[in-house]
Amino acid sequence: MKLINYSYETLEALEHFAKTYFRPNDHLLIQIFCGSFDKLKITEILHFLKQTFPKSIIIGASTAGEIKSGRIKTGTIQISFCRLEKSVAKVYYFQDVNFESGQKAAESILEKETKVCIALAHPFAKDDSENFIEGFNSIRADMPLAGGNAADEFLFESAFIICENKILDQGIVIATLSGKTLHVNNGYSLGWTQIGKELSVTKVNKGTIYEIDHQPIQEVYQHYLGKDVVQNLPSSAVEFPFVKVCDEIEVCRSLIGVNEDGSLIFSGYLNEGEKVRFAIGNVEEIMDRAVAIQEQINEKPVEAIFIYSCSVRKRFLQKQLNYEFGLLQQIAPTAGFFTYGEFFHSEHKNQLLNVTTTVLALSESDYIISHTLGEKPEVNCSTLKSLTHLVNTTQYELDVNINFLNQYKMILDQSAIVSKMDIKGNIIYVNDAFCRVTGLSKEEIIGSKHSRFRHPNSEVSLYRDLWNSLQRKEIWSGVLHCINPKEEIYYIKSTVMPFLDEKGNIVEYITSSIDITDLVLKEQLIEQHFKDELTGFGNREALFHRLRTDTGQKLLVLLNLVGFSEINDYLGYDVGDDLLKQIADFLMQTFDNHSDVIFRINGDEFAVLLAERDQKMFHNLRDKIKRMIRSLENKVFTIKGYEVVVRLNVGVAEGMTDEIYMQSHVALKEAKTHNQAFMFYDSNEALKVKTKQNIQVIQKIRSAIENDRIVPFFQGIYDNKLHKITKYEVLMRLQEEDGNYLTPYHFLDQAKKTRLYEKLTKIMIHKSFEYLKDFSVDFSINLTKGDILSSSVKECLYENMKKYKCAHRVIFEIVESEGIENFSEITSFIHEVKQLGCRIAIDDFGTGYSNFAYLVKLEVDIIKIDGSLIKDIDTNETSAMTVETIISFAKKMGYSIVAEFVDRMSVQEKLQSLHVDFSQGYLFSKPSPIISL
């Protein structure tokens, strides 16, 4: 490869030059750079070149100045002859300069060995070269483009491009260079130093900018560059381009025009949201960069260098450019021109640059020739350099502080509800979070006062204290109860601070709040979860929470109302409920009105928990409890015209851990067994033995859970009409280490006194659903009220029903013998699962709270009559009459009926005569770990 430049004078002189240096069959890349716009003369030159060198290609452009052998020329015609020995050059022309033609070029002109494209574009095309480049990048962003837009010495009317022997007033011409041994190296120099703060482009259309930082563009120029600059735009500000960073290089956008609407036209695209800064030419940086490019180009093989430099640089930097180009000429011959925009391939794509010098170095040789590089001349520009450094260092420090402040604001806006008020309390600013919590727009809020969101139940004194604190120039913090116009209640934890000026006067107030509505509501839910719905005192969960968290000495009294179910059965639930309330109040009064020591833990069971601070009330413990029992049993409660008295069984235990619940429960059971009014755990050795046994049972449960020995058994339910088993009840079994199985009778009571019960329930759900997924039979799962109230158990149920898509086969048996409290939560659960297709059965009906009114409220589908009534129905007339009554009611209500404990044919025959729907018992099916259909 060899590059030879020629300055055109006459056609005869060109002919002599051509014959001297080249042969007709030479393959040449000829570039013609025209500072003269005499098209007739140029046409003669093109015809001569095409005739003389038929195997060559010709491209060219009008210029704002020409570059020959490292020197700047003006108004000349420069012809660059590059002889290719191993490479191939081809030329293409595209009339349209837009995105689609850029794509077409990338798809059609590139060959396997193509290494670079040199493109020369008309600068005033219907679209523009930057759009073309974007289209080209969309297909082949890896292929370097060099060259630039044609120019015309700032006339903006006479530019043209050349393709072969044609002079064109539109389009783009591209020369491709291909070859296995072709080396391509490129670089660019800017030397304009960014200065001042970073600005955001907020309104733009390609190269036309309307607003920067939401301010009109001309106001921005006036603010930063002074009033005079806007008097003579664009020429007054052309040397202060905007600079952005794109693909890790600095990209300038020079001001080239003004629109009637005040918007400004730039020589290249800017996008909305892009960050830009003003830049100023820095002579010393330009010199430094010239040396850097020389060193960069010198590191690889170089035989020819093409330079495409911005016309703005020629206008302001002729002296420095001669130095810049001279350094490159020391390496290899140079040729090029001054453009209206340069094409450059950065790390990942091609871009349109401004105010730069771009360099394309080519070589067909693999050898790197080391050149002796000249020394950088001294440049006396220390004042500008120091001033620029001062401004940018100051701006950097300011940017750091602003960045911190913006991050503080960002996290504050994300995590807090923020507002500002003027000194009269009028809201002057709110963030988006404030709008969300109030349900109003900023426009609807600004100008109003915070009092419009004050809840009517808020304490007036709270707000009085708030304003008094602010007037004293103090910070106020507290929780505010609020309501928005949609009547949605919310709670915010607020901090209000007065802002002071340099004289210490209040100029405004700022409020930062956190929405704690969820926290308050959760606290309310927790309080409800720990509260007995009927009496308002603590419930079973509250008692266990206190037992676990209070580590001091405690005394627990469990009281059971003997025969309470009879009051419900004969006098009605309204009377029973009222009685429970009055007993709770009586206990509270007995223990000095300490409501937090009274708990209703079951339908007919209360607890009194006394901590160390209450021990003085039990100086004579046994006598005190006896008097309490006597007083309660002697008290006549008058309710709805009935006079009601109660009898009690009481168990008492004392200690420091939650084991006292088990101990007091054992004492209570012992009192029931021996029909005694009360029993003290610590005075009865037999009870301690039972407790030890209970602890062993709990350890056995833990071991079974850890070793996967909790297994489901299945007992068939016989359809008395179809005469076959059609359903199965899931039953829990504990497999002991010796392989034997224990029924729940031996361990479930103890599990319920610990957290293990919930684990057992979820194990049964997982295993039974997994096993029954392949059987097309209905199956029932037993649930206690504790299961229904447990969110984790319900979640486990819903997950398995969704996973196995079997809700229509599931029956939930609610254990009726425990009594049904927390009525709203139970009915809510029933409604949810019935919506999914499940059915509800009441288990053990005929014991406990056998109130028919409750069945209607619970919307049940099936009644399972307790085995204690079924087992002797064939011989016991009372049992038979009771069962007949239940069946008659169930038939009228449309319930299905299941009879339990059917173990003899005589019992089954009796049930069939009563038209019972289903029978369950050993007569038909014994519980088994497998199902055989």
pLDDT in tens, 118-149: 999 998 766 689 999 999 999 999 999 999 99
C-alpha 179/C-alpha 31 separation (Å) is: 19
Q: Where are the alpha helices (DSSP H) in 707-747?
A: none
For the chain, 933 residues long, the average pLDDT of each consecutive 10-residue run is 95 94 94 95 95 95 94 95 95 94 95 96 81 94 95 84 95 96 93 85 92 92 86 82 89 87 89 90 80 88 95 81 89 94 93 93 87 58 53 63 65 76 90 89 91 87 88 90 88 89 89 83 69 84 83 86 80 86 87 78 87 55 75 87 86 84 85 81 65 77 90 95 94 91 84 81 94 92 86 92 93 69 76 92 71 71 90 89 88 91 93 94 93 80
At residue 290, the pLDDT reads 85
Q: Which two tokens stand for residue 53?
A: 């060198």
Phi/psi for 429 (5° steps) reads -160, 140
At residue 672, the pLDDT reads 84
Percentage of residues in the chain with pLDDT exceeding 90?
43
At residue 817, the pLDDT reads 47
C-alpha 602/C-alpha 541 separation (Å) is: 11
**Cβ count near 661 (within 10 Å):** 24
Would you give the end-to-end CA distance of the chain in angstroms? Answer: 91
CA-angle at 450, arms to 449 and 456, nearest 5°: 115
At residue 550, the pLDDT reads 81
Spell out where 768-874 has E strands.
778-783, 810-815, 839-845, 862-865
- CB proximity list for 423: less than 8 A, separation 6 or greater: 506, 507, 508, 509
At residue 236, the pLDDT reads 81
Please choose, from the candidates 49, 33, 23, 25, the residue with its C-alpha nearest in 3D space to the C-alpha of residue 118. Answer: 33
Q: Which two tokens stand for residue 876?
A: 């016991």
At residue 657, the pLDDT reads 82
Q: How many residues does this entry show for the chain?
A: 933
At residue 618, the pLDDT reads 46
At residue 525, the pLDDT reads 65
- CB proximity list for 800: less than 8 A, separation 6 or greater: 765, 766, 769
Burial class from Cβ neighbours inside 10 Å (0-12, 13-18, 19+) for residue 380 reads exposed
pLDDT tens digit sequence for 291-331: 888 888 888 999 999 999 998 888 777 778 888 898 999 99
At residue 604, the pLDDT reads 86
**Cβ count near 730 (within 10 Å):** 23
At residue 516, the pLDDT reads 81
C-alpha 742/C-alpha 749 separation (Å) is: 13
pTM score, two decimals?
A: 0.48
The H or E element spanning position 444 is helix 442-445
pLDDT tens digit sequence for 587-613: 888 877 676 788 998 888 899 888 765
